[in-house]
């Protein structure tokens, strides 16, 4: 006999529904408007299909497009399925695999039919068209439970080997479900889904690109074609998103780097940066800043060799693990024919291999090992603006963000076991000061032991706990700091604390890190003399705040859209006379600016002031000092600040004092 279910609604009311009824029935009982608007249901907190019957008494909240987070997730997931259906409709024999929602849309990984090339950009318009058809057909999406074997058999019968593999490996005991789109297409999916394809807005998605992606993310597996789309609830949201992408493109550091004449890259040294005078000014200012911070933090700066015998890298373990990403040269003088420039192919079997350093730490241990260190000397903090080379996979290179030659604000802290937590805590404070000086908000994450690792579990337990303790002492183990632990993401020798910056348009960048390492001191036999007169192993903390100068500058350019703070600006002010009669005064103003230590230029070209304003604005020069007859007579300058329309007329000395004050680096300003 059938009983009535008690369904509690968010407003506290309870409705009695017959057994077998669904959230859709409840919506219909409440009113036709809601019935139409409702797209899913939260049943006892779990997001479910609106047409899935209740299991018993339940708390129900109906989901509509007003619940944007859930609605977007559902829509994107459905777009992914519609995408897969469209591709199979267009190209029968295409295998489907997997297609989730992403942060701004969806993708689906497919395998083109035998004999057909992987899908390309040219195929996207046709797929979009087919997707719109499917959406407009308003096909009902229906959930159905299947047995594992039936599902495997079906996939195999249809030649869907990836799906069959997947079905076979889904965890035991999990209910396997499929979703039908109409009666003619289905995909294996956990759901939930919208009640029908017609709930999607056919104008609210766009296929963006195709890319290769490995089956299950493993390079050893087949490469599929991943079709990416962006998906939204309506056209307005889609357009807003496309506009945001355009804006992000305008901040691209590669574009701004060229426009602002900061640096360039070229084939002959791909992955290495040619810094131009203006770009290198930013670098030098950052470097000077970081030196002040590290000097003040008890670090001592050293400089260690670029090239070391491979024996050293073998001992440290890097040669064994990373040789293919290192640059190595035989330690010989090649015979070169002066006429032709050809080097003789003299392979010196007896030559030692030297390797260019991919990191600074082994050399820092070697510095530490010179002489005998007492526990009284610890902690020893050795810093280096270390220039490293790594032969990165070519596809990984990206502007300043991923390069083959980079310089780190690197340092290693050698300390006793007892000092680790305190040193990590101090570092947290230093990192906070630095990021705050640039106006960055950040999150702190702890990357825990990876599967492949050196050292005992007990050591890892300890190392991970130390970092947790230090973060707790620094007061950062909370939501304000986005505190989170990431299993499996640590380095092979140690867990890592990571600092992730959030930039002006919401993207995150991992920059800073600190890692407690007990492996390298062991491998390179670093010791200190303890209180007891015996030899002890120091702990080595690897740490960096900028990470690499190249990448950090790239991040700054994008964060500020080229308009870096005055203290970093390569050219802080340009003096622009309105007519050439004033060139003399302009030069006088320039000389005074330079004497005050400001980075300034003059623009004496035979151009109108409009032209000069436009040009220097586009080059992101923070201040334009316009001088005409009036300014000359009165000994003033008219200051135009980037991004502002109004000018400010000040006596020259006052203007210089103001600029100088504003151009003071943030750490010196506080002093």
Partner RNA sequence: GCUGCUGUAGCUCAGUGGUAGAGCGCGUCAUUGGUAAUGACGAGGUCGGGAGUUCAAUUCUCCCUAGCAGCACCA
Specify the residue for token string 């032209």.
Answer: 611
Residue 579 in the binding site for RNA (CB under 7 A): yes
Residue 507 in the binding site for RNA (CB under 7 A): no
Q: Establish whether the linkage from the previous residue to 179 is cis, with ω within 30° of 0.
A: no
Residues 107-126 close enough to bind RNA by CB under 7 A: 117-118, 120-121
The set of long-range contacts for 214-218, using a CB threshold of 8 Å and a minimum separation of 24, is 215/97, 215/109, 215/162
**By the 8 A CB rule, do 642 and 623 touch?**
yes
* Nearest distance in Å: CB 562, RNA: 11
Residue 325 in the binding site for RNA (CB under 7 A): yes
Of the two residues 258 and 441, which places its CB atom closer to RNA in the complex? Answer: 258
| DSSP annotation string for 289-326 | HHHHHHHHTT-EE----SEEEHHHHHHHTHHHHHGGGS
Of the two residues 185 and 215, which places its CB atom closer to RNA in the complex? Answer: 215
Residue 501 in the binding site for RNA (CB under 7 A): no
Give the dihedral sign, CA 486/491/493/499: negative
* Nearest distance in Å: CB 175, RNA: 27
Known active-site residue 193:
no
Q: Which is catalytic among the residues 76, 139, 361, 515?
A: 361
Between 538 and 557, how does the x/- string for binding to RNA read (CB under 7 A)?
----x---------------
Distance separating alpha carbons of residues 422 and 379, to the nearest angstrom: 10
* Nearest distance in Å: CB 480, RNA: 26
* Nearest distance in Å: CB 450, RNA: 8
Known active-site residue 183:
no
Of the two residues 66 and 452, which places its CB atom closer to RNA in the complex? Answer: 452
Between 56 and 95, how does the x/- string for binding to RNA read (CB under 7 A)?
----------------------------------------
Residue 274 in the binding site for RNA (CB under 7 A): no
Residue 271 in the binding site for RNA (CB under 7 A): yes
189 marked among binding-site residues: no
* Nearest distance in Å: CB 517, RNA: 9
Known active-site residue 254:
no
- Please work out the total of residues on this chain that contact RNA, with binding judged by CB under 7 A: 72
Give the dihedral sign, CA 247/250/252/253: negative
361 marked among binding-site residues: yes
Residue 305 in the binding site for RNA (CB under 7 A): no
What HEC string does 114-155 produce? CCCCCCCHHHHHHHHHHHHHHHHCCCEEEEEEECHHHHHHHH
Known active-site residue 443:
no
Of the two residues 274 and 346, which places its CB atom closer to RNA in the complex? Answer: 274
Max CA-CA distance within the chain?
Answer: 102
| DSSP annotation string for 403-418 | -SEEEEEEEEEEE-GG
- Residue of 55, 129, 581, 653 interacting with RNA (CB under 7 A): 581
Distance separating alpha carbons of residues 567 and 551, to the nearest angstrom: 19
- Residue of 40, 110, 365, 578 interacting with RNA (CB under 7 A): 578
- Residue of 204, 210, 356, 568 interacting with RNA (CB under 7 A): 210
Between 372 and 411, how does the x/- string for binding to RNA read (CB under 7 A)?
------------------xxxxxxxxxx--x---------
Q: Which is catalytic among the residues 445, 542, 551, 623?
A: 542
Q: 69: how many CB neighbours lie within 10 A of its CB?
A: 8
Between 603 and 642, how does the x/- string for binding to RNA read (CB under 7 A)?
---xxxxxx-xx--xx-----x-xxxxxx------x-x-x
Distance separating alpha carbons of residues 535 and 61, to the nearest angstrom: 66
* Nearest distance in Å: CB 292, RNA: 26
Among 282-290, 316-324, 418-426, 458-466, the segment contacting RNA (CB under 7 A)? 316-324
Distance separating alpha carbons of residues 230 and 75, to the nearest angstrom: 11
Residue 315 in the binding site for RNA (CB under 7 A): no
Of the two residues 120 and 277, which places its CB atom closer to RNA in the complex? Answer: 120
Rounded to the nearest 10 degrees, how much is the dihedral formed by the CA atoms of 400, 401, 403, 408?
Answer: 90
Among 40-48, 299-307, 315-323, 469-477, the segment contacting RNA (CB under 7 A)? 315-323
Residue 318 in the binding site for RNA (CB under 7 A): yes
Residues 215-254 close enough to bind RNA by CB under 7 A: 217-219, 223, 225-226, 228, 254
Q: 90: how many CB neighbours lie within 10 A of its CB?
A: 14
Among 8-16, 265-273, 529-537, 585-593, the segment contacting RNA (CB under 7 A)? 265-273
Known active-site residue 428:
no
Residue 213 in the binding site for RNA (CB under 7 A): yes
Secondary element (H or E) of residue 358: none
Known active-site residue 542:
yes
Residue 492 in the binding site for RNA (CB under 7 A): yes
CB neighbour class for 170 (10 Å; exposed up to 12, middle 13-18, buried from 19): middle
Two structure tokens written together for 343: 């080097």
**By the 8 A CB rule, do 58 and 43 touch?**
yes
Known active-site residue 11:
no
364 marked among binding-site residues: no
Distance separating alpha carbons of residues 73 and 399, to the nearest angstrom: 33
Closest by CA position to 424, among listed 379, 455, 460, 384 = 379
Residue 159 in the binding site for RNA (CB under 7 A): no
Looking at residue 333, the DSSP 8-state letter turns out to be: -
Give the dihedral sign, CA 31/36/38/40: positive
Strands, E, within 147-184: which ranges? 176-181
Cα-trace Rg, the chain: 32
Q: Which is catalytic among the residues 52, 163, 390, 616?
A: 390
Of the two residues 58 and 110, which places its CB atom closer to RNA in the complex? Answer: 110
Of the two residues 16 and 607, which places its CB atom closer to RNA in the complex? Answer: 607
Q: 482-519 as b/e, with b when 16 or more CB fall inside 10 Å?
A: ebeeeeeebbebbbbbbbbbebeeeeebbbbbbbbbbb
Of the two residues 8 and 314, which places its CB atom closer to RNA in the complex? Answer: 314
Residues in binding site for Zn(2+)? 361, 412, 542
**Which residues are designated catalytic?**
361, 390, 408, 410, 412, 496, 542
Residues in binding site? 361, 412, 542
């Amino acid at each position: 006999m059938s009983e009535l279910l008690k369904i509690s609604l968010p407003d506290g009311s309870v409705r009695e529904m017959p057994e077998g009824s669904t959230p859709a029935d409840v919506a219909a009982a409440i009113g036709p408007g809601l019935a139409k608007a409702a797209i899913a249901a939260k049943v006892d907190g779990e997001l479910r299909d609106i047409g899935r019957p209740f299991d018993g008494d339940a708390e129900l909240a109906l989901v509509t497009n007003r619940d944007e987070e859930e609605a977007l997730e559902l829509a994107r997931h459905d777009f992914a399925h519609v995408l897969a259906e469209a591709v199979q409709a267009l190209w029968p024999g295409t295998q489907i695999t997997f297609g989730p929602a992403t942060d701004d849309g969806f993708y689906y990984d497919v395998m083109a039919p035998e004999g057909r090339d992987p899908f390309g950009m040219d195929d996207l318009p046709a797929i979009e068209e087919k997707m719109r058809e499917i959406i407009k057909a308003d096909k009902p999406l229906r959930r159905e439970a299947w047995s594992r074997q039936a599902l495997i058999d079906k996939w195999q019968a249809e030649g869907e080997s990836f799906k069959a593999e997947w079905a076979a490996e889904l965890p035991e005991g999990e209910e396997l479900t499929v979703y039908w789109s109409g009666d003619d297409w289905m995909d294996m999916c956990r759901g939930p889904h919208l009640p029908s394809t017609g709930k999607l807005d056919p104008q609210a998605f766009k296929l963006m690109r195709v890319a290769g992606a490995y089956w299950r993310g493993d390079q050893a597996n087949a490469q599929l074609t991943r079709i990416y789309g962006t998906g939204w609830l309506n056209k307005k949201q889609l357009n807003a998103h496309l506009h945001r992408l355009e804006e992000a493109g305008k901040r691209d550091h590669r574009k701004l780097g060229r426009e602002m004449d900061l640096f360039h890259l070229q084939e002959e040294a791909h992955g290495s940066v040619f810094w131009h005078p203006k770009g290198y000014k930013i670098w030098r200012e950052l470097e000077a800043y970081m030196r002040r911070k590290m000097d003040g933090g008890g670090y001592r700066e050293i400089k260690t060799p670029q090239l070391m015998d491979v024996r050293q890298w073998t001992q440290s373990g890097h040669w064994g693990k990373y040789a293919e990403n290192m640059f190595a040269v035989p330690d010989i003088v090649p015979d070169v024919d002066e006429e032709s420039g050809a080097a003789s192919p003299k392979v010196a079997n007896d030559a030692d291999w030297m390797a260019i350093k991919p990191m600074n730490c082994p050399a820092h241990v070697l510095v530490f090992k010179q002489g005998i260190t007492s526990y009284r000397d610890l902690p020893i903090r050795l810093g280096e603006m270390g220039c490293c080379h790594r032969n990165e996979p070519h596809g990984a290179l990206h502007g300043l963000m991923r390069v083959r030659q980079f310089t780190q604000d690197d340092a290693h802290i050698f300390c006793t076991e007892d000092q680790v937590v305190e040193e990590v805590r101090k570092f947290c404070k230093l990192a906070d000061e630095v990021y705050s000086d640039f106006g960055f908000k950040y999150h702190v994450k702890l990357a825990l032991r990876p599967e492949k690792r050196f050292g005992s579990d007990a050591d890892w337990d300890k190392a991970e706990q130390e970092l947790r303790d230090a973060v707790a002492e620094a007061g950062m183990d909370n939501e304000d700091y986005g505190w989170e632990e990431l299993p499996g993401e640590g380095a092979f020798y140690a867990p890592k604390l990571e600092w992730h910056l959030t930039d002006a348009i919401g993207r995150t960048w991992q920059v800073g890190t600190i890692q407690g390492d007990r492996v390298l001191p062991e491998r390179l036999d670093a010791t200190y003399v303890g209180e007891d007169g015996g030899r002890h192993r120091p702990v080595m903390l690897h740490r960096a705040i900028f990470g690499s100068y190249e990448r950090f500058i790239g991040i700054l350019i994008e964060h500020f859209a080229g308009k870096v703070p005055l203290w970093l600006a390569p050219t802080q002010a340009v003096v622009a006379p309105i007519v050439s009669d004033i060139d003399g005064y302009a030069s006088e103003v320039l000389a005074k600016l330079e004497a005050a230590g400001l980075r300034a230029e003059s623009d004496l070209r035979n151009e109108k002031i409009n032209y000069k304003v436009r040009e220097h604005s586009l080059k992101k020069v923070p201040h334009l000092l316009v001088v005409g007859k009036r300014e000359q007579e009165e000994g003033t300058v008219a200051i135009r600040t980037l991004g502002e329309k109004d000018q400010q007329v000040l006596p020259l000395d006052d203007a210089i004092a103001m600029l100088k004050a504003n151009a003071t680096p943030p750490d010196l300003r506080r002093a």
